[in-house]
Every structure is written in C-alpha cells, then in structure tokens.
Amino acid sequence: MQSTVEVKLSERSYPIWIGTGMLAEQLALAYERIPNWKHAVLIADQSVSPIADQVAEALTSKGIRCDVNGVPSGESSKSVDQLSRLWDAMLDQRADRKSVVVAIGGGVIGDLAGFVAGSYMRGVRFVQIPTTLLAMVDSSVGGKTGINLPKSKNMVGAFWQPHAVCIDTTTLQSLPDREYLSGLAEVVKYGVILDLELFEYLEAHAESLVQRAPTAVEYIVRRSCELKAAVVAADERETTGLRAILNYGHTFGHAIEARTSYGRYLHGEAVAIGMSMAGELAKDLSLWSNKELIRQTVLLKRLGLPVTLKESISTEDLLSAMQLDKKTENGVLNLILPTCLGHVEVRSNIAQSAVSAAIDHCR
Amino acid sequence: MQSTVEVKLSERSYPIWIGTGMLAEQLALAYERIPNWKHAVLIADQSVSPIADQVAEALTSKGIRCDVNGVPSGESSKSVDQLSRLWDAMLDQRADRKSVVVAIGGGVIGDLAGFVAGSYMRGVRFVQIPTTLLAMVDSSVGGKTGINLPKSKNMVGAFWQPHAVCIDTTTLQSLPDREYLSGLAEVVKYGVILDLELFEYLEAHAESLVQRAPTAVEYIVRRSCELKAAVVAADERETTGLRAILNYGHTFGHAIEARTSYGRYLHGEAVAIGMSMAGELAKDLSLWSNKELIRQTVLLKRLGLPVTLKESISTEDLLSAMQLDKKTENGVLNLILPTCLGHVEVRSNIAQSAVSAAIDHCR
C-alpha cells in the first residue's frame, strides 16, 4: 500500500510517496517523473550504506550512472568542510546541470545534500530518501536546506525544493531507539500547533508508537507530511509569518543544542525540552491553560522524551544563544506560544525575566 | 543627470540607477525603497575603501548601523574560505533577516557578496555598488552569484537578485587602465550577440572610450545594462536557453582563466581571446563571414584587448577544462557562435578537431 502527499508550490510542486517496502517502486516513479536523468550523485549517511547500495542498484538498472558519496553520521557533518568536500567531489564526478542529487539518510543528510544541490552550478535537481522518523515528518518537507556555523545552527543555506520524496517506513526498523523517539517530538509539535485530532491520536497510541507499530507509524508520518505541506504551500519562504509556527519549541531547542555543542541532545530531544519551556512561558503569560500544558508534558514523557534540561547551562548563556536565532529581527526575539491544543501565536517583546523564569522551570 | 534601467522579474524586479557623481542620491533612493532597513553589512574590495567609507557615512546618517568587511582584491577571494569567513563575520555582527548586504567593488565582490546574501539565513536583502566597468555592464545585472572551486570557476552559487544597483561612473576614474579596458570586452560581446548598433557605436567611439570620455562611457553602460536586463527578464534562471547567449566567448575564456590559475589574464581579457576563438570556429564552420570576424578582431585590438593566447597551454588542456563548463550537459559541450554581427546561435556536437583548430588559430 502506498499513499501520496502533494506539496503544492506551483511550478515547484512535488510528491511525497509514503509506503512500507516500496522503495524500488518509488524510485521507478521518480525516474519517470524526472526527464533526461542520466547521472545521479548519491549523498548517503555512512550508517545506511546498505540502503544506498539498494538505491544505486535500482538506478543503475535504469541506465543511470551513479556516484556514491558517504558522509559520517551526526550533526557535525552539517559543516562548511563537508559542503566544500561534496562540491569538489561532484566536480570530480563530472556532475552537470542535468545530474540529480539523491539524499539518503536523516535530517543532517537532507539539509546538507539539499544545500549542495541548491548551490552546485546554482542549483541541480534533488530527490530525498529520508531514513529517520525526524527526516520523514519534518526535514524532507519544505525545501529548507543548510548547514551550521560553529556558533549557530542552520545559519546558512537555501530554499531548494526536491523533485520527489520517497518514504519507505521499513527503513525505520533499524533505527536506534533514541533516534526514533526523538522524531516523535516533531509529531507532537504538529499536534500542538495545528491539529488537536493528531494530538489525541498520539495520546491514544503512545505505546504502539513507541513500539513502532507499522499502521500507527504510517498514519503519523502521512498526517505530519500533510500538515507541514499545507503550511509550506501557504508560506514557502517564511515571508507571511505562517511558516514560523513550525518553529514552536525550536528557538529554545536550537539554543540548547548550540550550548551543548550539538553533542548532548538529539534535535528532537532538544525540541521536546524547548516545547516544555515555551509551554511554561505561555502558561506563565496566561496564554495557555495549565491543564493543556500538563497533557503536553505527559505525552512527551510517555513517548520517552525529555522535558527538563539536565545540563548545567546558565540561563544567561541560553538567552544569549537565543538572540542569535534567525527569527530575531532588528534585535527583537519572536517566540511561538500555544494558546490551546492545535493553535499557536507568534509573540514578540516578551520580558526577558519571563523567558528566564520559563527556562528555570524546566530544570 | 541620472537614468534608470528596470530589470523586470515580477516580484523580484529592481532598478539600476546610472549617473555620474550621484552615489549619495542613489543611496537615498535605495533607503526609500527598502523597508525596515536598520543594519547594513558592507562587503567591500579593500582597494576601494574610500568609497566604502563614503557609503557607510551616507547610510549611518540615515540611522542605519553599518559593519564594514574588507575583502582582498582579486579573483582568489571568490573562495570557500572568504565565503565562510564572511558568514561567521555576519553572525558576529548580529546580522539578521532584515539586514542588508551592500557589495562595493567589482565582479569578484558582487559575486561573493551576492552568494553570502543569498545563503545567510537562506537569503537576506542585497544592494550592489559596482565600481569597475566589468561589474557595471555585466556582473551586477542578472542575479548570478557564486564562488570558484579550485578546479573550476563560478561552479557553486545561487540566483539571488539585488534590491537595487547604484552605478556611479565617477568610481571608474581611479580604475587601472588594464582593468578598465578589460570591461570593454563584455560591451563588445553585447554588440556581437545582440546589437549591431552598439557594435557600430563602439567602432565609431573606440578612442573616446579608451580615454574614458564620460558621455561615451555612460552610453555604453546604460545600453549594456538594457540589453542584459532584457535577456535576463526573458530567462531568469537559464532554463529556456536564451540566457546562454551571454556566455559567448566564455567557455573558452573560463578554460583559459582556469588553466592559468586565474592569475595571468583578467576576466575580460580571457573573454576577448575566447570571443576570438569562438569567432574563428564560427568562420571555420561557415556560420560567420571572415569580414565580420575581422571587424571583431580589429575592434578588440583598438580597445587594447588581446586576441591571441600568449601562454603555452596545450590545446588538450584547454579542451579538458572546457568539458568542466557548466553549459556541458550529459557530456555534450554547447557553444555560442555568431552568425552575423548582432546574432548568435547555440551549437552542440561540434567536432573536437574543429574546436582544436580554432584554438590553434589564436596563438
């Protein structure tokens, strides 16, 4: 069984195919969709090289010349060094404007390979094969690509849409537990910001999801992609402000990641703590009810996610890292805060003391 | 006196203001045009720091916070190292999404600063102040930005349009002779590919132009911007093939620059030799008359430009460098060849022996 979510962006529209054990069929669809495809540059997380081999075999059988570039696992690969190495490698592999970059891995690979695709010769075509839950529900939808600077995450990059996204949920089976659970944080986020029904589904199926029950997993992946696709279609380049709601929990989360050198917490874990901080802040400002905040906290915990900061980072340090956030404009910090389950608002000019207090509540 | 060329790209349209001694007025216009401008990141060629100071003073007087980043002169600054250094500098300068990058210098600065602007936080606003003839007539129009890889020129970058371009031809007065003349090569190119009238104007005013007579200089700058703007408006992202005609002489020229490590020839000089090679090839293939080829050669020489390759690069080396050109698709080299003054065609599948012979004619 396979379903399709269409991301509607006029001439940049593309399909996300979601299925279980369908990768070869999905690649055949991608091949049909992309004209004049004769060369593929695979950029793959080294930890999923068997999947990369499978993709290379399927593409080679279509007569496509394949070059495979392995990238070390982990956030530290979203670096200027990897970017520059891949640019040089593509040139050596005689990639040209008709070549197609195929990203195989999690969010790190999608972001890195997407920026490589968006900048090589000022942009070549791009297919995503996400192999982590986080990448399936979040980073493979929306066209945001980029790398980190030493002092701040996702600070440079491009908006670059893929031509197709192939999601085969069987690739999740080998994912380490912690990484799988981390992806659920973004699914909780969609529930809180946009969809009470999804939030209630998560509450009702928390244990099945922790155990990776295929039906539940396919449902939340599809629903998350649909929700994100709708937001992205309405605000592709984050200009109307709508897309900013996707950053719920992320301003805190990114600061936590930056101040722990991207090593202590997985992205979803930092976002879970960030949502807890944003939730506390919303409650303190009387925007959100304590009852709903508790539902968020309980759900995150049932999904095996952290809700408090265990590291001894000073509140001052976190605040200063938050000031470097991309959503800061002319020095004013904008935060996404829930008002009820399924709805959030953008707030600016929040007193620093209130932000500090929310951080301190989550220790 | 000041004239305006509009570059029409729907919501990305922007004006090019062209005048003599008008920089302060042009900056005031830019300030009016760009909403919510409170911070400027100046990226300036170190050789024009007096102009950068003038710009910083004008902007500061409007209440804009200015950070000035000097960049060493020369093609070697279009590097991953400079790109990465400027990204880090902008972060340190607390540049955010509302900051505006202002490029002050020649094509190297415009290309580098444009890619910085197009990638920092996935794109911030951008103003160009070209101070060389080459940048005025070519690189400041069209939104192509990027850097070089060690093995190939302009290989990575982005399409990123400025919000305004301020051309003050008085900045040309201090330009070294060789660099000024190099810019005239691109003007000759516009004549050959698109505009017999411009070509004849150049023939009629060659000596005044060599002496930088203000009226003649303003005329050719404006006409070149108009011609390029029309091509770019019709084919912003080089998808219909029309924009490719702007690369007349450039496939040879880029290969010459690459094989001399971007040190022996200025860009316009390499393009002048490249146009001579492309012209020879067109003549050999009976596409172009010998008489018109001679007119091109004579004009280039009167403008103090080279038409033969003085370096001992083997023809084989040049051919292999040409294969790395971005216009190569699935291994087929596309070349732009003139058929009469004011008109060119794109040709592919030209026998390598014919290309070799054309190169050898220009030694």
Mean pLDDT of A85-102: 97
* Mean per-residue pLDDT, A342-347: 95
Cβ distance B324 to A91 less than 8 Å, yes or no, reads yes
Q: Which residues of B touch A237 (CB under 8 A)?
A: 123
Mean pLDDT of chain A: 94
Closest-CA distance, A22 to chain B, in angstroms, reads 29
Q: How far apart are alpha carbons B246 and A124 in whole angstroms?
A: 20
A144 labelled catalytic: yes
Torsional sign, CA A347, A348, A349, A354: positive
> Taking the model in full, what pTM does it have?
0.88
Angle B228-B231-B232 (CA atoms, 0-180°, nearest 5)? Answer: 85
| Residue A85 structure tokens | 């190495």
Residue type, A362: C
Please report which residue ranges of A235-289 form alpha helices under DSSP H: 250-259, 267-284
User: Which among A87, A149, A159 has the least Cβ separation from residue B149?
Assistant: A87
pLDDT digits (tens, 9 = 90+) for B55-90: 999 999 999 999 999 999 988 999 999 999 999 999
Is A57 annotated as catalytic?
Answer: no
Q: What are phi and psi of A17, to 5 degrees?
A: -95, 130
So what's the pLDDT on residue B327?
A: 67
Query: Backbone phi, then psi, for B105, in 5-degree steps?
Result: 155, -155
Active-site pick, A78, A223, A259, A267: A267
Secondary structure element (H or E) that encloses residue A102, with its range: strand A100-105
* Least confident segment among A117-121, A144-148, A239-243, A350-354: A239-243
Give mean pLDDT, residues A314-332.
82
Q: What is the pLDDT of residue A308?
A: 97
Directed axis angle between helix B267-284 and helix B290-302, to 10°? Answer: 170
pLDDT for residue A116: 98
Does the distance separating the beta carbons of A149 and B87 come in below 8 Å? yes
Instruction: Please say if the pLDDT value at position A327 is more than 70.
Output: no
CB half-sphere exposure, B24, CA atoms < 13 A: 8
Distance CA A73, CA A112 (A): 12
Question: B267 touching A, CB under 8 A?
Answer: no
Establish whether A186 is a catalytic residue.
yes
Option in B98, B144, B323 nearest A329 (CB): B98
Per-residue pLDDT at B140? 81
Query: What distance lies between CA B23 and its chain's CA centroid?
Result: 20
Tens place of pLDDT per residue across chain B (363 aa): 789 999 998 889 999 999 999 999 999 999 999 999 999 999 999 999 999 999 999 999 999 999 999 999 988 999 999 999 999 999 999 999 999 999 999 999 999 999 999 999 999 999 999 999 999 998 888 899 999 998 888 899 999 999 999 999 999 988 999 999 999 999 999 999 999 999 999 999 999 999 999 899 999 999 999 999 999 999 888 888 888 999 999 999 999 998 987 778 999 999 999 999 999 999 999 999 999 999 999 999 999 999 999 888 999 999 999 987 766 766 678 899 999 999 999 998 899 999 999 999 999
Which residue(s) pair with B319 in the sheet?
none
Does an H or E element contain B216, and which?
A: helix B214-234
Phi, psi torsion values for A238, nearest 5 degrees:
60, 45
pLDDT value, residue A285: 97
Interface test with B, best of A100, A111, A116, A119 (most B CBs within 10 A): A119
**Residue B290 confidence (pLDDT):** 98
What element of type H or E holds A337?
A: strand A334-340
Phi then psi dihedrals of residue A44, to 5 deg? -130, 140
Rounded distance between C-alpha atoms, residue B326 and residue A195, angstroms: 46
CA pair distance A347, A337, nearest whole angstrom: 7
Choosing among A124, A330, A332, which should be mutated to test the B contact, i.e. which has the most B CBs within 10 A? A330
Bridge partners of residue A343, in order along the sequence: A340
Structure ipTM: 0.86
Q: How confident is the model at residue A241 (pLDDT cuts 50, 70, 90)?
A: confident
Fill in the amino acid letter for B70.
G
Tokens of B354: 């014919």
CB B97, CB B70: distance < 8 Å: no
Other C-beta atoms lying within 10 Å of the C-beta of residue B131: 27
Residue B253, C-beta contacts closer than 8 angstroms, at least 6 positions apart? B267, B270, B271, B272, B273, B274, B275
The yes-or-no verdict on residue A251 having pLDDT over 80 is yes
Q: Which residues contact A186 (CB under 8 A, 6 or more apart)?
A: A134, A137, A138, A224, A268, A271
Cβ burial of A291 (10 Å; 0-12, 13-18, 19+) is exposed
Q: Which residue of B has its CA nearest to A36?
A: B330
Distance CA A62, CA A68 (A): 16
Closest-CA distance, B298 to chain A, in angstroms, reads 35
Following DSSP, what letter does each residue of A189-215 receive, concatenated?
HHHHHH-HHHHHHHHHTHHHHHTT-HH
Is a pLDDT exceeding 90 seen at residue A10?
no
Q: What is the DSSP letter of A323?
A: H
Per-residue pLDDT at A85: 98
Chain position carrying tokens 């969609």? A190
Q: What is the mean pLDDT of residues A112-126?
A: 98
